[in-house]
Structure 1
Amino acid sequence: MKKNINVALLDDDCLFVEGLASLIGNNPNFKVVFKASNPIDFIEYLKTTQELPDVALVDLNMKPLTGLEVLDIINQNEIDLRVIVLSSLFNSSMYGYMIRYSISAFLPKYTDKKELFEAIEQVYHHKVFMNEENQLLIKEYYNSKSKSQNPWSNISLSERENEVLTCICKEMSTREIAENLFITVKTVESHRSKIMEKIGCKNVIGMVVFAILNGLFVLTNNNK
């Protein structure tokens, strides 16, 4: 039996979050397990729930905590949550700023339901969703003066670390990476730890975003 994807929602616009819950709830592949219009309630839910949602949709412009503050709390508490930011603040500068938070996807609030559903599915199955508009935003951010804000701009990985990172982006298992690169599983795990330490991330999402931002990996339909 196919598992429903459990979704949590956070947006301080009560009417919007109710409408979004209804829209997502009507899809038989999804189940809305929590919805909140107060960021504090959302954080409390994440800290106390017995089972985290598979995917969370989070707004940015909220009170009393902004979406960025919510993401910061999630990271500080090492909560393993795949987050899709759904916001009207959709631009390259904001996308670049959010890179440090290892979000799984960034979509504007005018996104149609087909693409929203696809994003939820892709984030659940593959950790990251990026459409063409996202990739253009990253390119714009990377080529603009704001690229100096890239927290990873001065990080250098070794050739072997780049190879391991590329394999990770392709969703290869540790054993598959070892076999592909003719190294031991222990060596792969060592490289993975060093990569995460250099980047300063705590999960695969951060590594994938780093790879995309720095031109080490291109997300295409073939990668999904």
Structure 2
Amino acid sequence: MMKPRLTIFDEPLLYTEGLSKLLSQSKIFNTIDICNCYETLSLQLQEDPPQFLMISSNILMLNEIYRAVEKITSQNKDIKIIIIGNSYDVTDVRKLFDKGIKSYLDRNSRYDEFLKSTQALLSDEIYICDHAKERMIDFISHKQGQSRLQMRDPLTKRELEILKLICDGLSSKDISEKLFISINTVETHRKRILLKLNVKNSVGVVKYAMENHMID
């Protein structure tokens, strides 16, 4: 399989250069470009879009990121967007996923989380950094009084276990290894979870779990 290309949209900082070099050493990407001008980025996305696009909150305000993500995903749904945010609120992170991003990392995320995020996206999974997941749990703990949405059928103990692992950002392969079951079995459980929650994908699972206090 051909290695993907990555474009990092950020200010020309030492941090950005360092991250680019570290990611180059990982040999995950075929090429890594750094872009710090929105006009240049727009031209690249039109002429030769990368498979992965990392957007930093250093270079755009949150509302600008919303608009950029919406525009980019409307023109090319195959681009996997990673947002490097400034410890955004849970509602802001959720809105970013609604707009079409595939991964969210805080600016203080460790390098190994960048690698985990990349591997998750290569497996067509979403990824949320540990700090953001902790904020989700805090958010959920303050919403215990809210009514739960009704499911078509209650989830089984195994399905609840797999749901939590999905919310932790694990791929089907990771879940199968962790629970000592086959990938086909994991996929069967995934399909049943999607059906019972009446959602379309992993993003929907995470949103439902957050709103209904299922991962606290």
TM-score, with structure 1 as normaliser: 0.61
The 8 Å contact of residues 126 and 203 in structure 2, kept in 1 or not, is answered as: no
Counterpart residue number, 1:4? 3
Percent identity among equivalent residues? 12
Q: Secondary structure at 2:68's aligned position in 1?
A: helix
Q: SS at the partner of 1:66?
A: helix
Q: Work out the CA distance in 1 between the residues paired with 2:19 and 2:103.
A: 17
Give, in angstroms, the shift of residue 6 of structure 1.
2.7
The 1:52/1:74 distance shift into structure 2, 3 A limit, reads same
Partner of 1:129: 127
1:111 to 109, 115, 122: 109
- Select between 113-122 and 75-84 the one with higher mean Cα deviation: 75-84
Contact conserved, 1:43 with 1:70, CA < 8 A, in 2?
Answer: no
Matched residues in 1 for 2:39 and 2:205: separation? 29
- Native 8 Å contact 1:85 1:105 kept in 2: yes
Q: 1:35 is paired with a residue of what secondary structure?
A: strand
Q: Is the 8 A contact 2:70 2:100 kept in 1?
A: no
- Tell me if the contact between 2:82 and 2:101 (Cα under 8 Å) persists in the aligned partners: yes
Query: CA offsets, 1:37-72, max 9 Å, x none?
Result: 1233223322332x641x321113435982222112
Provide, for residues 106-132 of structure 1, a one-character-per-residue CA deviation record: whole Å limited to 9, x for no partner. Answer: 212222222211221122224212344
TM-score (norm 2): 0.63
Matched residue, 1:19: 18
Change (3 A) 1:8 1:216: farther
State the partner residue of 2:69.
71
CA contact (8 A) 1:46 1:52 kept: yes
Extract unaligned runs of 5+ from structure 2. 173-182
Matches of residues 1-224 of structure 1 in structure 2 within 5 Å? 3-11=2-10, 13-15=11-13, 16-49=15-48, 52-53=50-51, 55-63=52-60, 66-144=64-142, 158-159=152-153, 177=188, 195-196=199-200, 204=201, 206-215=203-212
In 1, Cα distance between equivalents of 2:207 and 2:47 = 30
Question: Shift in Å at residue 78 of structure 1?
Answer: 4.9
CA contact (8 A) 1:93 1:141 kept: no
Cα offset, 1:85, TM superposition: 1.0
